[in-house]
Amino acid sequence: MTSKERVLLAFARQTSDRVPIDYAANAGIDSRLKQHFGLASDDNEGLRDALGVDFRGVAAPYVGPRLHEDIPERGIKVCDWGTRTRWVEHETGGYWDFCEFPLQDADEEEVARWPMPSPDDHDYSEVFSTCKRYEHYAVWAGGQGLGCVINTAGFFRGMGQVFMDLALDDPAGLLLIDRFLSIQLEVTRRTLEAAKGGVDFLYMGEDLGTQHTPLISMDMFKKHILPRHKPFFDLAHAYDIPVMLHTCGSSSWAYDEYIKLGLAAVDTLQPEATDMSPKYLKQTFGDRLAFHGCISTAGPVAYGTVEDTVRNCRETLDIMMPGGGYCFAPTHSLQDNSPTENVVAMYETARTYGCYRA
């Protein structure tokens, strides 16, 4: 059975030969895994083969003019959208954290003038050949940031201001959201067109919960989030592909509304968060949604032993596998504090214990 067949059966909530497997990791653990398998530091494909990963992504990179400059005197990197990050060290590595939110106090006029990447300045020429190269895998377009309202707007405005924008219908904040979403939507449309049927599902995201509660009310969700996500679902339906939605924290409160839009699968699924345990998700939504995630990057794979990791993976598989509809994956990118042996054991367990037996 090919990876593509395996994933599409899971999305249809059916069983196959084994659960599909996915992977995401920070640079530190990614490098250590490559060393473990004797791979070159840039051999991303080799690592995915070694782990048994069934998913691949395709994108049309931005190749237009530089729109914003770095600020080296403050140690700040600035991306093509103009959002700013600064390197933050921690005891096992580091990461680029968003800072100095450039549009935090901007009015409508400033937001309207803010340079953003044009859909015309993306390179779609390699999309089809990439899909052909990965034709036996489940190929996705988009990513966790596609369609994301709250988190992405926060990169520009800061999270506090974004919640104020949504609560008060701030014209500048809403204009910002609609500007970057319209660009994302058009880039995605052109990517799917260039793929010529080679994309298997659309991957998008929205952060909707803390560890314990929703981030926003249902009324605000229906007013500001759901209508802005609907065009992405409509686009996926026009190309006859399913949608998988990345949702951090306690997010299952919104799943019924997404199901009405035609959502096929949900991603991340932090088991520590309220109403996000594997048992709750399987019992409540297992007849309507497929699941991708559940292996916590803040759980045994990071803080336990190999035995703890294997036990946690097996317990999750025991709950999620029956009847199909589960893709084995970490909740987020595996972090630098995850011991190499734990991550190797995690994927070994998925490939062996995750097999369906006749």
pLDDT score for 93: 83
For residue 92, name the pLDDT band (cuts at 50, 70, 90): confident
pLDDT, tens digit, for every residue of 260-304?
999 999 999 999 999 999 999 999 999 999 999 999 999 999 999
> Token pair of 283, please?
């019992």
Residue range of the domain that includes 240: 3-65+106-352
Domain assignment of residue 82, yes or no: no
Query: What CATH number does residue 296 fall under?
Result: 3.20.20.210
Look over the chain and give the mean of its residue pLDDT values, rounded to a whole number. 97
pLDDT at 24: 97
Cα Rg of the chain (Å, integer): 20
| pLDDT range class, residue 91, cuts 50, 70, 90 | confident
Both tokens of residue 234?
């409509």
- The answer to the question of residue 85 being in a domain is no
Say if 76 falls within a structural domain. Answer: no
The pLDDT of residue 110 is 98
Whether 196 has a pLDDT exceeding 70, the answer reads yes
- The answer to whether 247 and 225 are in contact (CB under 8 A) is no
Q: Compute how many other C-beta atoms are within 10 angstroms of the C-beta atom of residue 57.
A: 15
pLDDT band at residue 358 under the 50/70/90 scheme: low
Looking at the domain assignment, is residue 319 inside a domain? yes
Does 329 have pLDDT greater than 90? yes
- Indicate if the pLDDT at residue 306 is higher than 80: yes
Q: At what angle do helices 340-352 and 306-320 cross, to 10 degrees?
A: 30
Q: For residue 255, what is the DSSP state?
A: H
Query: Given a cut of 60, is residue 134 above it in pLDDT?
Result: yes
Q: Is residue 216 part of a domain?
A: yes
Q: What is the mean pLDDT of residues 142-161?
A: 98
| pLDDT band (50, 70, 90) for residue 98 | very high
Residue 209 has pLDDT above 70, yes or no: yes
d(CA 262, CA 243): 8
Residue 304 lies in a domain: yes
Q: Which pLDDT score, from 0 to 100, does residue 357 have?
A: 76
Q: What is the pLDDT of residues 218-265, one digit of tens each?
A: 999 999 999 999 999 999 999 999 999 999 999 999 999 999 999 999
pLDDT (mean) for 188-197: 98
Overall domain count for the chain: 1
Is residue 93 one of the residues assigned to a domain?
no
| 70 touches 84 (CB < 8 A) | no
**Does residue 190 lie within any of the structural domains?**
yes
> Distance of CA 323 to CAs 7, 41, 77, 247, Å?
14, 38, 46, 23
Residue showing tokens 């700013």: 84
